[in-house]
């Protein structure tokens, strides 16, 4: 839901001599709200056209009293501009970055996060906008989803290394998933629960972060803990694409804990990028693409692979509308 901003209501007692004064007061109110200044509704040209003396004097007195920048009108614009966004998996390594970025852009977004435990909540600040819930239990996530405009899904099953592995003895480590936390339960049922709850709540857009490699059943990630993690992720992606909700599916390459915003990003399809040398991406860049996807129509109803050029090569990506415009695949 939008955050409301108190704006002084200005009315005119006379539709004649005080018009210029009232119009200037209107502008003062608009300029006192920094975010309004960036909106088309309050651009200088549009404002002059709408609130010029000639337009005001032609109005009946009762209408003129409401022709200035009223509290109701300003709130309406702010409501259109500011979105409530929920990040699920906010306690994860990439989810934390997305949640933090949203919090830093409080003029645009009212951020929420969903974590699984109180420990995770406290780890990332313990704010009131952090909800505790288990995506495998559909009822537990409803409070977090109610009233949001967009959902960013960053939940994922996480394989763990068996403790008896000894690197000194050679060989490869073995992995397992905890009971109840297999990819089928987390990446399929858990994500399906989120999509269903979001649809029931009237959410306007879902951004889902998956992984490259889903076109290959024999991909090594599927063998970890016998979890077939990419198979279940792909199934959830298809479910989202079929849901009717505007969606953006980001299939990220190998995730790196590096600084974001300094590399040229690459988009692809059907795991083509896995056949190149550009198969990795910084978590911070994935987080930024998630948020940018909320701002452009060009990102909706699209699915794509995401990687980046090595640092120091290419031109760092800044034009995300152009990046999304390159994508032609719906799944």
Helices and strands, counts by H and E, the chain: 14, 12
Question: Which residues face 160 on adjacent strands?
Answer: 176
- Pick from 34, 28, 24, 38: nearest CA to 8: 28
Catalytic residue among 211, 223, 243, 308: 211
| Catalytic (active site) residue 211 | yes
Q: Residue 186 gets which letter from DSSP?
A: I
Q: Whole-angstrom Cα distance, residue 282 to residue 253?
A: 9
- Which runs of E-coded beta strand occur in the chain? 83-88, 109-115, 130-132, 150-153, 160-161, 175-176, 205-211, 247-252, 254-256, 265-268, 280-282, 302-308
Whole-angstrom Cα distance, residue 30 to residue 117? Answer: 43
131: which strand partners?
114
List the catalytic residues.
211
């Amino acid at each position: 839901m939008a955050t409301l901003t108190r704006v002084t209501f200005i009315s005119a007692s006379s539709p004649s001599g005080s018009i210029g004064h009232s119009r200037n007061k209107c502008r003062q109110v608009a300029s006192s709200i920094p975010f309004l200044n960036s909106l088309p509704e309050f651009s200088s040209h549009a404002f002059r056209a709408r609130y010029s003396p000639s337009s005001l004097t032609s109005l009946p007195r009762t209408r003129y009293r409401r022709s200035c920048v009223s509290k109701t009108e300003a709130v309406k614009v702010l409501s259109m501009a500011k979105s409530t966004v929920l990040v699920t998996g906010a306690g994860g390594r990439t989810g934390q970055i997305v949640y933090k970025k949203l919090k830093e852009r409080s003029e645009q977004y009212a951020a929420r996060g969903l974590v699984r435990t109180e420990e995770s909540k406290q780890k990332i600040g313990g704010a009131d906008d952090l909800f505790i819930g288990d995506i495998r239990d559909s009822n537990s996530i409803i409070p977090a989803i109610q009233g949001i405009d967009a959902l960013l899904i960053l939940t994922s099953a996480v394989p763990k290394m068996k403790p008896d592995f000894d690197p000194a003895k050679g060989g490869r480590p073995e992995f397992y998933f905890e009971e109840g936390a297999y990819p089928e339960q987390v990446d399929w049922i858990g994500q399906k629960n989120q999509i269903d709850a979001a649809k029931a709540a009237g959410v306007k857009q879902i951004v889902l972060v998956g992984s490259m490699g889903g076109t290959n059943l024999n991909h090594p990630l599927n063998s970890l803990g016998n979890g077939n993690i990419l198979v279940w992720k792909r199934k959830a992606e298809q479910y989202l694409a079929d849901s009717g909700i505007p969606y953006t599916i980001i299939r990220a390459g190998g995730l790196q804990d590096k600084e974001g915003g300094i590399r040229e990003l690459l988009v692809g399809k059907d795991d083509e990028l896995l056949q190149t040398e550009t198969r990795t991406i910084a978590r911070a860049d994935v987080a930024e693409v998630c948020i940018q996807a909320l701002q452009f129509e060009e990102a909706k109803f699209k699915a794509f692979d995401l990687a980046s050029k090595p640092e120091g090569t290419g031109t760092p990506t800044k034009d995300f509308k152009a990046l999304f415009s390159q994508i032609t695949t719906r799944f």
